[in-house]
Amino acid sequence: MPEILERNIHSHSLLHASAPVHLPDRVEPKRLHTEEMVLNIGPQHPSTHGVLRLEVVLDGEVVVDVIPHIGYLHRCFEKHAENLTYPQVLPYVDRMDYIAAMSGEHGYVTAVERLLYIEVPEKVEYIRVLFAELQRIASHLIAIGTFGMDSGAFTPFLYCFRDRETILEMFEKTCGARFLYNYMWVGGLSHDLHPDVLPMCRDFLKKSRATHQEINDLLTFNHIFVERTAGIGVLDREVAINGGASGPMLRSCGVKWDIRKDDPYSIYDRFEWEVAIGSSDRGEPGDSFNRHWVRMQEWEQSLNIIEQILEQFPRQDATDVQSAIPKRLKPPEGEIYSRTETPRGELGYYIVSNGDVKPWRVKVRSPAFSNLSLLPLLSRGYLVADLIVILGSIDIVLGEVDR
Amino acid sequence: MGFLDHMELPVLPTDKTGEGNVIVTSLDTLFNWSRLSSLWQMSFGLACCAIEMMSTAAAHYDMMRFGVIPRPSPRQSDVIIISGTVTLKMASRVKMLYEQMADPKYVISMGNCSNCGGPYWEYGYHVLRGVDRVIPVDVYIPGCPPRPEALLEGLMKLQEKVRAQGKDIEFTE
């Protein structure tokens, strides 16, 4: 990928010659001689989802090549991690993938606990999985809402944010923060579950299933939306696997790969649910529509998991959620790679410890970065308007791409 | 009288009900009033705070009731909300965006990152320690990220500031 990033404008003709340009059926091939034009999208653009800059080479309205320029939100996470103690790194983990902060925290604390060989109490695991799944829904709600906006529908955005507020309220009651929590600590949690949260959750389950249907009617099965997204930006199954795609991006191609199922962490093996994959009912596997459709299905599956958590939740368990937190956090010398499934895909932490209170090195394998790197392959040969849809369907978070 | 109260303008009572039809005012007051009632904001997100800004604009908090409408272009907007960490690579772009805006223009610095570098001030080798090093800031909103209520409070403070422009009115803290 860095090779593409460093390529300058003058070498585009070379790239153009080798790149297969597959035109959609509806676009007539150009008969007149046209000259290529370079269009700059971003870093300030409403549909780049943050501060991404795209250098687009156009032939008329057809995209010849896209070069994503990143680094506008490089906040030096890995350098911070080397300078801070293990618990102090957590707030920076929150700010990395800020749309799904709980999922990021879950990944980090799982990694450090594996490094320390800590077992956490059962109750803590239940609360963690409950919050991680609620966060997954909240994150997908933003992805679905903004994807609707990218393809021209504004209303679903408002509906999605309305539901997201309910989830944030539950987080706020429990840990005091609305958005960036610092809630999951290594070995425990910062606060016990607020007594109101479980009833709120039960209420939310009912409402959210209704909203799911509502969004499906409004957006997913809307004829205009399907026309706009089906068959656009098709990702090949082999390319997805070789390119390191993960999460909804990979599953939309029909690959049943979910770390919660295939490499279970925490207590995910106790629940019954389906891995959502793309289908060819509308569009074809791997296109923009199926990436959205996988998110919609995952929303439903997360609700199923939450339902089972509510049934199994150890209500009588009076364990202190901070009982397993080590007083002095100093892992033995060693290294660990631990991966978890965040809403965007496989989030991996590679931590090297030299026996100090600070990590010697923390490397993050971020799903959004790998998914974004496939954008040039996805968008060649489509129109500029389709490029915006394709970018929206990847669901990137620039904080995680640049770190 | 509704909006006339909001204007704090002298209104001459001309009919029996005491409601006036004639307004005596200075042009400055009228201009300030129109400016503060339609602060068009540039929809420009930088980092985490941008999501809270989106929440503020969505149905639950509804920023539009203050006349704040997101505009995608700097040339159509009056206020730029710096919502997130300004990195060194982004700083020149932020400055350019500010320069492209038409006068009168206002800046709200939302969140600790753009106020002073926030949690990144010490080890962040690529983070600008405060957006006020590149552009002048009117209102600072603390928080990491600030709640939507805090952003609304900041907008109201900016409105007060606009109302007091060119006059000897004390701007309340």
pLDDT tens-digit readout, B137-171: 999 999 888 999 999 999 999 988 888 877 765 55
User: What's the whole-number mean pLDDT along residues A204-217?
Assistant: 92
User: What is the CA A90 to chain-centroid distance, rounded?
Assistant: 18
Is B2's pLDDT higher than 50? no
Handedness of CA A259, A263, A264, A265 (dihedral sign): negative
- C-alpha closest to that of A245 among A365, A101, A71: A365
How far CA A68 is from CA of A11, A52, A65, A349, in Å, comes to: 15, 7, 10, 24
Report the first-to-last Cα separation within chain A, whole angstroms: 17
For A75, which of B45, B74, B85 is closest by C-beta distance? B85
Would residue A118 count as lying in a domain? yes
Which chain B positions have a beta carbon within 8 Å of A158's beta carbon?
Answer: 58-59
Which chain B positions have a beta carbon within 8 Å of A178's beta carbon?
Answer: 52, 147
Which chain A positions have a beta carbon within 8 Å of B75's beta carbon?
Answer: none
pLDDT of A297-307, one tens digit each?
A: 999 999 999 99
Which burial class, exposed, middle or buried, applies to A261 when counting CB atoms under 10 A from its CB (0-12, 13-18, 19+)?
A: middle
User: What is the CA B46 to chain-centroid distance, rounded?
Assistant: 16
Put residue A380 in one of left, alpha, beta given phi > 0 → left and psi -120 to 50 → alpha.
beta
- pLDDT given for residue B164 in this prediction: 81
Residue whose token pair is 């998914």: A371
- pLDDT given for residue A319 in this prediction: 82
Would residue A290 count as lying in a domain? yes
Gap between the Cα atoms of B162 and A155, Å rounded: 33
> Total domain count for chain A?
1
Q: Do the Cβ atoms of B58 and A79 come within 8 Å? A: no
Handedness of CA A10, A14, A20, A25 (dihedral sign): positive
Which chain B positions have a beta carbon within 8 Å of A46's beta carbon?
Answer: 43, 72
Would residue A175 count as lying in a domain? yes
- C-alpha closest to that of B126 among A402, A74, A80: A74
Print the domain residue range for A191.
Answer: 77-373
Is B1's pLDDT higher than 50? no
Would residue A16 count as lying in a domain? no
Instruction: For residue A37, give the 3-state DSSP assignment.
Output: strand
Q: What is the DSSP string of A100-154?
A: GHHHHHHHHHHHHHHHHTPPPPHHHHHHHHHHHHHHHHHHHHHHHHHHHHHTT--
Which chain A positions have a beta carbon within 8 Å of B125's beta carbon?
Answer: 76, 79
Which chain B positions have a beta carbon within 8 Å of A84's beta carbon?
Answer: 123
Mean pLDDT, rounded, of chain A: 86
Closest residue in B to A53 (Cα) is B90
Would residue A396 count as lying in a domain? no
Query: What is the ipTM score, two decimals?
Result: 0.83
Gap between the Cα atoms of B74 and B70, Å rounded: 10
Would residue A188 count as lying in a domain? yes
Gap between the Cα atoms of B94 and B84, Å rounded: 12
Closest residue in A to B88 (Cα) is A72
Would residue A327 count as lying in a domain? yes
Would residue A386 count as lying in a domain? no
For B87, which of A44, A73, A84 is closest by C-beta distance? A73
Instruction: Check if A71 contacts B (Cβ < 8 Å).
Output: yes
Establish, for the pair of chains A and B, how many residue pairs have beta carbons separated by less than 8 Å: 91
Q: What is the CATH number of the domain that holds A295?
A: 1.10.645.10
Chain B: nearest CA to A384, how far in angstroms? 18
Please state the pTM of the whole predicted model.
0.86
Handedness of CA A310, A315, A320, A326 (dihedral sign): negative
Instruction: Check if A196 contacts B (Cβ < 8 Å).
Output: no
Structure tokens at B135: 């552009």
For A161, which of B55, B84, B120 is closest by C-beta distance? B55
Chain B: nearest CA to A33, how far in angstroms? 33
Q: Among A16-30, A184-198, A213-227, A340-354, which is the least confidently predicted range?
A: A16-30
Gap between the Cα atoms of A385 and B56, Å rounded: 28
Which chain B positions have a beta carbon within 8 Å of A50's beta carbon?
Answer: 45-47, 50
pLDDT of A62-120, one tens digit each?
A: 898 999 998 898 998 999 999 999 999 999 999 998 999 999 999 999 999 999 888 89
Instruction: Check if A50 contacts B (Cβ < 8 Å).
Output: yes
Instruction: Check if A92 contacts B (Cβ < 8 Å).
Output: yes
Q: Among A138-147, A237-246, B28-37, B122-131, which is the least confidently predicted range?
A: B28-37
